[in-house]
């Protein structure tokens, strides 16, 4: 798909959904999964992360401190931060692509809520809250993504009945920070290509040879 075709598709979706702000935002953000095939050239000369943009060390450090769930080797430093909505189909796709490598690289998963609205009554917020409040959040995250319901576009983990004010504030903070970091949709991935020196941001699903090359590079390099 050319970049021009992507623009036309996005405009058509926005025209159809212009009277429903929440759904318009959700569809536009999910369309970010197409960005990886619509862009023309990787930014910043990066060959590890397709179509990426540089971010500052400050942005990286702040992102790793956001409320979230960690997967991968406990003794390793975080090398990726992934913003996701537990109901997002493109996030589920990214998870499935990463599943074979999940024990190789330390990843900080940062939940946001927008797919079915950004308020505490939406299932995105309630499902994210349930995962964060679980006795073993990593296990809850794995269950949510492994049992994703593609037909109904919803995660597999049961949503909480109520979202506390504190957790809702965390989810809103995560969403605000994703935007601050330049993310326009989920999944948005931040990568420590060279810890202390080079950090980048990518949007959409990273997959195939690009993903395997990235994981091999991150897992074989040492992080301070």
Residue range 113-131, pLDDT digits in tens? 998 877 889 999 999 999 9
Average pLDDT over residues 49-76: 93
Q: Which of 126, 123, 137, 138 is nearest to 167 (CA)?
A: 126
Which of 13-22, 45-54, 113-122, 158-167 reaches the highest mean pLDDT?
Answer: 158-167
Q: Please, what is the average pLDDT of the chain?
A: 83
Residue 146 lies in a domain: yes
- The mean-pLDDT minimum among 24-28, 77-81, 93-97, 102-106 falls in 24-28
Supply the pTM of this predicted model: 0.80
Residue 24 lies in a domain: no
Q: Which of 110, 104, 77, 92 is nearest to 212 (CA)?
A: 104
Domain interval for residue 133: 41-220
Residue 11 lies in a domain: no
At residue 189, what are phi and psi to the nearest 5 degrees?
-120, 130
Q: How confident is the model at residue 186 (pLDDT cuts 50, 70, 90)?
A: very high
Q: How far apart are CA 16 and CA 62, in angstroms?
A: 37
Average pLDDT over residues 66-91: 96
Domain harbouring 182, CATH code: 3.40.30.10
**C-beta of residue 69 within 8 angstroms of C-beta of residue 138:** yes
3-state secondary structure of 218: helix
Inform me whether the pLDDT recorded for 29 exceeds 80. Answer: no
Residue 32 lies in a domain: no
At residue 193, what are phi and psi to the nearest 5 degrees?
-65, -50
Inform me whether the pLDDT recorded for 21 exceeds 90. Answer: no
Residue 15 lies in a domain: no
Q: How far apart are CA 173 and CA 212, in angstroms?
A: 31
Residue 153 lies in a domain: yes
Q: What is the pLDDT of residue 47?
A: 65
Residues 6+ apart with CB under 8 A from 8: none
Alpha carbon of 158 to those of 19, 162, 191: distances in Å? Answer: 30, 12, 30
Q: How far apart are CA 116 and CA 144, in angstroms?
A: 16
Average pLDDT over residues 10-33: 44
Q: What is the pLDDT of residue 116?
A: 83
Q: What is the pLDDT of residue 48?
A: 73
Phi-psi region of 42 (alpha: psi -120 to 50; beta: other; left: phi over 0): beta
Q: What is the pLDDT of residue 51?
A: 75
Residue 187 lies in a domain: yes
Inform me whether the pLDDT recorded for 3 exceeds 80. Answer: no
**How many folded domains does the chain comprise?**
1
């Amino acid at each position: 798909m050319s970049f021009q075709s992507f623009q036309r598709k996005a405009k058509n979706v926005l025209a159809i959904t212009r009277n429903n702000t929440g759904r318009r935002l959700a569809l536009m953000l999910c369309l970010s999964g197409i960005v990886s095939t619509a862009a023309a050239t990787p930014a910043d000369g990066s060959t590890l992360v397709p179509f990426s943009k540089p971010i500052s060390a400050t942005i990286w450090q702040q992102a790793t401190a956001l409320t979230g769930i960690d997967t991968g080797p406990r003794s390793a430093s975080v090398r990726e931060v992934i913003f996701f909505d537990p109901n997002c189909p493109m996030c589920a796709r990214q998870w499935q692509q990463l599943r074979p490598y999940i024990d190789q690289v330390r990843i900080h998963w940062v939940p946001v809520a927008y797919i079915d609205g950004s308020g505490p009554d939406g299932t995105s917020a309630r499902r994210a809250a349930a995962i964060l409040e679980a006795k073993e959040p990593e296990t809850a995250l794995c269950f949510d993504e492994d049992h994703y319901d593609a037909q109904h576009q919803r995660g597999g983990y049961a949503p909480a009945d109520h979202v506390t004010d504190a957790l809702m504030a965390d989810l809103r903070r995560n969403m605000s920070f994703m935007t601050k970091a330049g993310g326009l949709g989920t999944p948005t991935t931040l990568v420590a290509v060279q810890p202390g020196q080079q950090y980048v941001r990518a949007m959409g699903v990273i997959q195939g040879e690009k993903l395997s090359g990235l994981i091999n590079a991150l897992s074989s390099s040492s992080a301070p």
